[in-house]
Amino acid sequence: MHEVDAARVQTVLERFLADASCAATVLIDRGGESLAVAGTARAFDVVSIAALAAGAFSSTAPLARLLGEREFSVLIHEGVKESLHVSTVDDGSILLAIFDERTTVGMVRVFAREASKKIGAILAEARTRPRRPGADATPATPEEARSALPRRPS
């Protein structure tokens, strides 16, 4: 993803954070890799949260299919102090929102839907751009991330 697209995604995450009164928002890929973070996510173990949320999200697909759905687009894990809203952005990414009693599930859901649409549009546009060597802030897909790693000699 080009730096300009990464900055646009960051702006949307920060707006979502403020509008929904979340503690943190994280954009992850379906494999659980963090793509962008806003808020106090640094106070949480974002790597573990992202990986586990992606796993939990993908594990509900078989249940959704049993009910005639392709997948569930939203999961909510409600705790006593902290809660997690997990929602689909597109086929490759998921939006996480960590929130507490300062907001409601309904508020988070409304603003997550809006943020997901905006981020999805940014990512779709970014995928159509020609790749420029050295101009990327982050890979757009896990495959691009793997191919960017240095290869060990055989």
Tens-place pLDDT, residues 85-138: 999 999 999 999 999 999 999 999 999 999 999 999 999 998 887 766 655 455
Q: Which residue has the higher pLDDT, 42 or 94?
A: 94
Paired tokens of 44: 């949480």
Domain that holds residue 18: 3-129
CATH code, domain carrying 60? 3.30.450.30
Confidence category of residue 45, pLDDT binned at 50, 70, 90: confident
pLDDT in the model for residue 40: 83
pLDDT in the model for residue 137: 52
- The percent of the chain in helix, strand and coil, each rounded to the nearest 5, is 45, 20, 30
Which of 34-43, 51-60, 91-100 has the least mean pLDDT? Answer: 34-43
100 lies in some domain:
yes
What are the tens digits of pLDDT across the range 58-88? 889 899 999 999 889 999 999 999 999 999 9
42 lies in some domain:
yes
149 lies in some domain:
no
For the entire predicted model, the pTM comes to: 0.80
Q: What is the mean pLDDT of residues 124-153?
A: 62
Domain count across the chain: 1
Q: How far is CA 83 from CA 54, 67, 78, 110, in A?
A: 16, 26, 4, 16
Q: Which long-range contacts (CB under 8 A, 24 or more apart) does 107-112 make?
A: 107/19, 107/20, 107/21, 108/20, 108/22, 109/74, 109/76, 109/85, 110/20, 111/16, 111/19, 111/20, 112/16, 112/20, 112/74, 112/85, 112/87
Given a contact cutoff of 8 angstroms between Cβ atoms, the answer to whether 15 and 25 are in contact is no
pLDDT in the model for residue 53: 92
81 lies in some domain:
yes
Would the pLDDT of 140 be above 90? no
Give me the amino acid identity at 118. K
